[in-house]
Amino acid sequence: SVGFVLLVIYNKNMIQKIKILILLNFLLVNIAFSKELPALFEVKIPDDQYTNTNDGLNKAFNQLIQKLSGSRSKKILWRIGDAKLNKIEFVSSYSTEFIGEQEFLSVKFNEEALIPELRKIGTPLIGFNRPVILILFKIDTGESVPMYLSSGIQSNKLAAEIKQTFKNIAIERGVYLELPEFDLEDQNLLNQANVLFSPSIYIEEKFYNDAFLAIELVRIGINQWSVNGDLKTTSPLQEKQVIRFFQNAVHAFLDDFLEVKPLEPGASGERLMVSIQGLKNFQDFQSVESELNKIFAIKSRSFYAFERTKIDYITQLFQTKDSLMKELRGSTKFLIKEYNADTNQLKLEYLN
């Protein structure tokens, strides 16, 4: 009948509207980008890690180099020593402060004085834009329903210690190690017993990330734990060994993820055409210029072509294009579209 046909059409329209609303909700949840590290040239050293102010300033400088280069390699510090750079001369100010019950030496360094000196000795640098590493962390004690670490407060002591470990490493390395903030729907999906559902795929696609780690900590016996997933143990751990394992494993992951290999002695940095599209007005052009000024990988640039919505630059890099790609990976303003090896052209989308 006519009434039945109208009802079918109405139901189809409603289903379509629901699908659109679900899609819009998904898109809104995922409107997030990498982050700029505002305190890149500021380092805080706990008072139990230095003996006197001079020792603290030297250790703060070493940690700053680790943040700037993305590397824990001693070779970089040896190169600085060979160049006879006075670390203390690059300190612009320092003070002590309490964070909770812990006292810290807070040191700020002079960016304009330090960066040229590091350039002279070929130190690789990774800039202000830093990647977001999203971690899906599952703990299964075997006694109750497995739990996932979240950005909220954890009542479990071991979970709280693991979260604090991630926080400390993030500050030390100058990156963002983030845990998801689960809503009720997430919790229901993660707790369901459906072999066809992949928590890792679901979380990785829902929350913004530049890299994703899925980790599972499982108790396999009395005071014995195993780690599976993107980080793994080769033998059981005692509970007192768990934190040390994650300290070493996450640092090792970041060593590889952040590494910018220095040029061979005598080699010059690469040249590359960078095309940026998506500009709408003069303010966008000014913003693009400002953002390019912040990128450590670019030594110099010149205009090659200019259109209403696009700019082409010829860039001279300090290192290789890999260093530029790694820095752009954490950009809040540029999205990497593609690299064409035949034309040696990198295409970026400006995010306004």
Torsion of CA 89, 91, 97, 98, to 10 degrees: -100
Q: What is the pLDDT of residues 182-205, one digit of tens each?
A: 999 998 888 887 778 899 999 999
Global pTM value: 0.81
For 121-146, the pLDDT digits (tens) are: 888 888 888 889 999 999 999 888 88
Q: Is the predicted pLDDT of residue 14 greater than 60, yes or no?
A: no
pLDDT score of 5 more than 70? no
Where is pLDDT greater, at 15 or 240? 240
Residue 324 CB coordination number (10 Å): 26
- Given a cut of 90, whether residue 237 has pLDDT beyond it is yes
Residues 272-285: pLDDT tens digits?
999 999 999 999 99
Crossing angle for the helix pair 239-258 and 157-173, to the nearest 10 degrees: 30
**Which of 81-85, 140-144, 151-155 comes out lowest in average pLDDT?**
151-155
Q: Does residue 304 register a pLDDT over 60?
A: yes
% of the chain with per-residue pLDDT over 70: 90
* Rounded-to-integer distance, Cα 285 and Cα 275, Å: 13
Mean pLDDT of 110-117: 94
142: region left, alpha or beta (phi > 0 left; psi from -120 to 50 alpha):
left
Strand partners, 214: 136
Does pLDDT of 47 surpass 60? yes
pLDDT, tens digit, 9 for 90 and up, residues 244-291: 999 999 999 999 999 887 777 778 889 999 999 999 999 999 999 999
Q: Give whole-number Cα distances, 329 to 7, 22, 276, 326, in Å.
A: 50, 28, 15, 5
pLDDT at 273: 97
Q: What's the CA angle centered on 177, arms 254 and 185, to 5 degrees?
A: 135
